[in-house]
Structure 1
Amino acid sequence: MASISSSGQISVVNSEFCLAYPVDIIIKKKLFSLSKKKYAVTNADGDLFLNVTENFFGVHRRRYLSDTDGNTFLTLQECIMTMHSRWEVFMGDSTEDNNLLFSVKSHSMFQSNTEYDVFMATNSEESGCCDFKIYENEIYAGNTKNNLIAQMNDQGSFMNTEYLVNVYPNVDLVFIVALVVIFEEIKHGGTSNSEGIFELANIVLS
């Protein structure tokens, strides 16, 4: 459940991830890796503090967001058989319903990948306003584009996917990282490491 304190602190995963000053982080996607590591998250000085790993097998595509000691904070799971591009995010490494924290889905199934709605688990009906919104490269609290809480700057190239993310003061860092990872997975189809390796092999052999 999202918590907004009287001081304006926005805590979704844990209040300890909310810093009182703006923070720049770098989220870099690993391409064609033989390991399960999918993304590396560093601070502006290049110090690693979060990893995002993937599952190689299974019906659902999953991403696991953990610290450098391997402690899993969140499990990100793609939903299948849905009209919208949709991911669900769970606390820890379990995908039981009682661990559901929030969901992300495209604003419209007829729209390009520019706008996504974020619903907390407590907003299960999803019939009213969303709790957070991703629009292009900006993340907002609430259902409008009035309360900006983070900005993504795509610094990638042909062979490199990298985002410089500016997280506003008192906003949950881990929550923002999860949103950026889902944004990237939907935007580029979420090709897994194993799929990428097969694609590269086909290019080399063709």
Structure 2
Amino acid sequence: MATGQAPFNPVPAMRTYPPVEHPVVVIGPQYLAQYPVELAVNSDFKVSDINGTLIFQANSKLLSLHNRRFLKDAAGNTLVNLRQKLRTMHGRWEAFRGESKEKNDLLFTAKKPKLFQFKTELDVFLGNNKGEDPDFKVKEGYSQSSCSIFLGDSNTMLAQVHGRHTLAIMPNVDYAFIVALVVVILDEINADDDGDAILEGFVDGIASGVIPSA
């Protein structure tokens, strides 16, 4: 029986994450903001803010034993150099301050938690962390090109990567550190894409008879 009142339609609950209690500083306190920071990454890995102002840029150099990348500020000063040890089983990355390679300038390391994994996940350890518990974790989201960065094993989110091109960073989080970590994340995602392409080509080759199945 109609009452003349509109039916009650519940509004879906929004998932919230606890705010960062203490500032997260890895590269420097000058990269802290008291507000959420949104950055865009283009195909040349130039990082800009919502007004299109260049904030960071990255370039790479492939060496015999290391895949090396440099994160620079808008003026071209090197903030971090990241070195991937190509012959390690977990794809380990090391990030050093400036262009240094000295252990006392090690900012953080990142590696896959498992030898074989189907999602983009990374454990991140600060340079002075000699234990087994990571300081930060990267977890893949609803798609391979999206992921979230958390404080340790907590549900305190520091940043999100959307579609490889957009970064949303929480207040009081070192956004230069997040961008340096995203260099590693995107490298891992691109490497997975290359592996998928090789696998797809192999399967297509079998299906077409170009590659014998046995």
Shorter-chain TM-score above 0.5: yes
Q: Distance in 2 between the 1:133 and 1:80 partners? A: 21
Q: Kindly indicate whether structure 1 or structure 2 has the higher relative contact order, using CA contacts under 8 Å at least 6 residues apart.
A: 1
Query: Given the superposition, is the C-alpha separation of residues 87 and 190 from structure 1 closer, same or farther in structure 2, using an over 3 Å criterion?
Result: farther
Following TM superposition, by how much is the alpha carbon of 1:110 offset from its aligned partner in structure 2, in angstroms?
1.7
Q: Distance in 1 between the 2:187 and 2:134 partners? A: 21
Alignment counterpart, residue 63 of structure 1, candidates 69, 78, 85: 69
Q: Which moved more, 1:181-190 or 1:46-55?
A: 181-190
Conservation of the 8 A alpha-carbon contact between 2:68 and 2:82? yes
AA aligned to 1:68 is A
Aligned length: 168
Pair 1:27-2:29 in alignment: no
Following TM superposition, by how much is the alpha carbon of 1:185 offset from its aligned partner in structure 2, in angstroms?
0.5
Following TM superposition, by how much is the alpha carbon of 1:171 offset from its aligned partner in structure 2, in angstroms?
0.4
Following TM superposition, by how much is the alpha carbon of 1:46 offset from its aligned partner in structure 2, in angstroms?
1.1
Alignment counterpart, residue 48 of structure 1, candidates 30, 50, 54: 54
Pair 1:78-2:84 in alignment: yes
Q: Distance in 1 between the 2:124 and 2:99 partners? A: 20
Q: Distance in 1 between the 2:192 and 2:58 partners? A: 13
Structure 1 runs, 4 residues or longer, greater than 4 Å off:
none
Equivalent positions of 1:160-179 (< 5 A) are: 162-179=164-181
Conservation of the 8 A alpha-carbon contact between 2:120 and 2:188? no
Q: Distance in 1 between the 2:28 and 2:192 partners? A: 27
Pair 1:100-2:106 in alignment: yes
1:132 aligned residue: 136
1:204 aligned residue: none
Q: Deviations over 1:64-105 (max 9, x none)?
A: 011122111100110122110211100011112221110000
Query: Given the superposition, is the C-alpha separation of residues 7 and 16 from structure 1 closer, same or farther in structure 2, using an over 3 Å criterion?
Result: farther
AA aligned to 1:164 is T
Conservation of the 8 A alpha-carbon contact between 1:106 and 1:113? no
Pair 1:8-2:22 in alignment: yes
Largest Rg, 1 or 2: 2
Q: Distance in 2 between the 1:94 and 1:168 partners? A: 29
Per the normalisation by structure 1, the TM-score is 0.76
1:142 aligned residue: 152
Q: Which moved more, 1:20-29 or 1:57-66?
A: 57-66
Q: Which moved more, 1:46-55 or 1:14-23?
A: 46-55
Cα RMSD (Å): 1.9
SS of corresponding position for 1:174: helix
Conservation of the 8 A alpha-carbon contact between 1:78 and 1:86? yes
- In structure 1, list runs of 5 or more residues that go unmatched: 1-5, 31-38, 155-161, 192-206
Conservation of the 8 A alpha-carbon contact between 2:67 and 2:86? no
Per the normalisation by structure 2, the TM-score is 0.74
Following TM superposition, by how much is the alpha carbon of 1:143 offset from its aligned partner in structure 2, in angstroms?
2.0
Following TM superposition, by how much is the alpha carbon of 1:107 offset from its aligned partner in structure 2, in angstroms?
1.4
